[in-house]
Amino acid sequence: MLLVEDYSFSVRWARDEKERLAWIEATRWSSLGIYMFLCVGACSYLGLLADRKWGGGVVWTIVGFFLGVATAFYGVFRELRRLPRDD
């Protein structure tokens, strides 16, 4: 997954450390949303192209959609595992 590890470059204008950390978290979560959208959209589009090329109604589009959903959730799961735990 292509997520930025060092978010500090984007929030140098924050007034204090708490605000900077809030912006870093917002950037992290919004990038996950974009990642999910791109996974599902790209796989669905590839399925649509496969349907147009080989026929089959909407079978390949549905397969592409579910493949995109599975890929997106796997990426989100990997990112959530990297979050620090409050033990």
Assess if residue 60 is contained within a domain: yes
Q: What is the pLDDT of residue 14?
A: 59
Range of the domain at 73: 35-82
Q: What is the pLDDT of residues 26-66, one digit of tens each?
A: 887 788 889 999 999 999 999 999 999 998 889 999 999 99
Mean pLDDT of the chain: 82
Assess if residue 55 is contained within a domain: yes
Q: How many domains, the chain?
A: 1
Answer left, alpha or beta for residue 6, where phi above 0 means left and psi between -120 and 50 means alpha.
Answer: beta
CA distance 83 to 33: 16
